[in-house]
Structure 1
Amino acid sequence: MGELDLSKTEIGPFSWSYSERDTILYALGVGCHREEQRYVFEGHSDFAALPTLAVIPPYHDVLASVPLQDVLPKYNPAMLLHGEQYLEMKAPLKASGRLLTSARVLEVQDKGKAAVVVIHTTSKCADSGEVVAENEITSFMRGAGGFGQQRRAQRQPAAVAPNKPPQRKPDAVVEERTSEDQAALYRLSGDYNPLHIDPEFAGIAGFDRPILHGLCTFGIAAKHVLKAFAQGDPEALKSIKARFAKHVFPGETLRTEMWQDSPTKVIFQTRVVERDELALTFAAVELATPAGQAKSRL
């Protein structure tokens, strides 16, 4: 079995300019309410971006331009499933600005009938060149395996940690009902997959109605962890990783169950209350400061 040359998959940078309006739109998309003025009112003295806004730049031309056909002979974008997401913040995300995002295929695994691909993206501040955030996006490609080659990479330990919840009651629980219009609102931040808005397309994919974006659930869960362990301080999030285990329908209730694993690590899982199914698993947040020592509130 050979090893793939992934150097030709490197692309970018792609420019993405975002305004205070985009920052507010994202916050509303992950369920922030008018009371959470810091994230929904540009006139607030501590107006800020939720750190998980940093998952959005790759959806502005970047991911669609990664030449997956160069490493997967049977690549079919319709057969792609978003499996896991890892986000690491390298610097605070400004409430508005311009980011330059580059991408490369980091890892490819041949699973026989399917393939697993990890895409790494780096977003830098266009003005200073400072790295703001890095994403690792793991996708499961149905029907794309059997090519006989693969490439493993040395990944960040937090990106591959199993994050098994302890055998005790959660240290904190936050519950939030999503809106029937949650997906319709979230998609305006950049992920326009019709699976999340078109009933006919959702039916073809095997769902009786459109489903919520996994990254919307991801953002909601991050907000819950920051609320419970960091007084809502957006700069407290160092990294977050989760596996997308089950779909969520807009209007369902999400319950994030959290365990403090160390002073700076919180293991969590997010459950769909109505169906008692886990939507996010193998999940954790690394905090920049020990839990309870953050400086701000929602």
Structure 2
Amino acid sequence: MPIDPDVAIGAELSSLDFSWSESDVLLYHLGIGAGSKPGDNLSPTALRFTFDGPGLQVLPSFGVVAPTFHMTDPPPLDLPGCDINLAQVVHGSQSIELAGPVPTSGTATVTTRISEIWDKGKAAVIWQEGTATSPSGERLWTTRSSIFVKGEGGWGGDRGSSTPVEIPDHEPDADTTYDVTPQQAMLYRLCGDRNPLHADPDFAKAAGFPAPILHGLCSYGIVLRTLTEELLDGDATQVTGFGVKFAGVIFPGETMRVRGWREDGRIIGSATVSGGERDGAPVLGDVVLTTA
């Protein structure tokens, strides 16, 4: 069968050595909309993400993309025991847990393994866990992600479990919008994700979409940046973790509504489409930002 859980679960993927620079950080931040509001070019808070001065900070979501930032090929799917193709795959969820603030430049090694595979009947969910370490062996961050593979379930495996994050039943502490620019996906793909689903109209239509969609990880970064700016005074060093479920899609040219609630020492968030025929359609769910 295309997925052999006996081979896949627990399999370690090849370790990857990678480096990043301040220029990479700046490009990433611009790709997720930093500095795009009127006055941001003069704002000390906004310049933390867009100017390579002594105050430069790194949004933690950069750690998710840093290992593959300089890759120009579509993301590979050469997972042990998994014979799947890119057109079957949708990013299901993503989280990062940090040991400390992400350096503005550096070198590290990421080691990744397949931690779980869930059988959803008509689909499979493959979980990966990666740990990035410094040259001295110090843990920098750990990522956890899942991909939803259409048409590959039904072998009688564990269905998995998850507890939805409840949206607080009161007015949010932050409620704002971000206009996804028409070229947003084209800019963000320079951050190491050349999946044609986000750029090629014919590929997108073959995958069931009327047009290329924005990268899920771009939405991930946009929402983290927005919550950090709105509720943490733009101080990315306060963020210790950020996790989401990819609940829907947003297209370049649409507007994203981002809300955030301070709740029990963390921030609960949501992201939906704002306005137009798809008003209220979900983009991200189970949004949780943890702080120091």
Q: TM-score range by the shorter chain?
A: 0.7 to 0.9
Aligned counterparts of 1:47 and 1:140: Cα–Cα separation in 2: 35
Q: Deviation digits for residues 169-201 of structure 1, max 9, x if unmatched?
A: 212112211211111011111111011111111
What corresponds to 2:286 in structure 1? 282
**One-letter amino acid matched to 2:95:** Y
How far apart are 1:142 and its partner, in Å? 0.8
How far apart are 1:57 and its partner, in Å? 3.3
1:226 to 215, 225, 228: 228
1:271 paired with 2:248, answer no
Q: Deviation digits for residues 151-185 of structure 1, max 9, x if unmatched?
A: 969xxxxxx55211012221211221121111101
What corresponds to 1:38 in structure 2? 48
Aligned counterparts of 1:3 and 1:120: Cα–Cα separation in 2: 16
Q: Percent identity?
A: 35
Q: Deviation digits for residues 53-87 of structure 1, max 9, x if unmatched?
A: 011035467x95675351x4x53332011111111
How far apart are 1:40 and its partner, in Å? 1.5
**One-letter amino acid matched to 2:191:** S
What corresponds to 1:134 in structure 2? 142
1:68 to 71, 79, 82: 79
**TM-score calculated relative to the size of structure 1:** 0.85
Aligned counterparts of 1:23 and 1:134: Cα–Cα separation in 2: 18
Aligned counterparts of 2:20 and 2:286: Cα–Cα separation in 1: 31
Paired residues of 1:4 and 1:150 also in contact (CA < 8 A): no
How far apart are 1:279 and its partner, in Å? 0.5
Q: Secondary structure at the match of 1:4?
A: helix
Aligned counterparts of 1:150 and 1:235: Cα–Cα separation in 2: 38
What corresponds to 2:93 in structure 1? 84
Paired residues in the alignment total: 275
Aligned residue runs from structure 1 range 38-57, under 5 A? 38-42=48-52, 44-57=53-66
Paired residues of 2:34 and 2:49 also in contact (CA < 8 A): yes
**One-letter amino acid matched to 2:134:** C
Aligned counterparts of 1:123 and 1:261: Cα–Cα separation in 2: 29
Q: Secondary structure at the match of 2:55?
A: coil
**One-letter amino acid matched to 2:15:** P
How far apart are 1:98 and its partner, in Å? 1.3
Aligned counterparts of 2:157 and 2:205: Cα–Cα separation in 1: 34
Kindly tell me: are residues 219 and 112 of structure 1, through their superposed partners in 2, closer, same or farther at Cα, counting changes over 3 Å?
same
Paired residues of 2:126 and 2:147 also in contact (CA < 8 A): yes
Kindly tell me: are residues 199 and 5 of structure 1, through their superposed partners in 2, closer, same or farther at Cα, counting changes over 3 Å?
closer
1:103 to 100, 112, 116: 112
Paired residues of 2:31 and 2:218 also in contact (CA < 8 A): yes
Contiguous gaps of at least 5 residues in structure 2: none
**One-letter amino acid matched to 1:269:** S
Q: Secondary structure at the match of 2:285?
A: strand
1:124 paired with 2:133, answer yes
**TM-score calculated relative to the size of structure 2:** 0.87
Paired residues of 1:218 and 1:242 also in contact (CA < 8 A): yes
What is the aligned-residue RMSD (CA, Å)?
A: 2.3
What corresponds to 1:292 in structure 2? none
Paired residues of 1:76 and 1:144 also in contact (CA < 8 A): no
Aligned counterparts of 2:168 and 2:59: Cα–Cα separation in 1: 28
How far apart are 1:228 and its partner, in Å? 2.1
**One-letter amino acid matched to 1:89:** L
Paired residues of 1:259 and 1:267 also in contact (CA < 8 A): yes
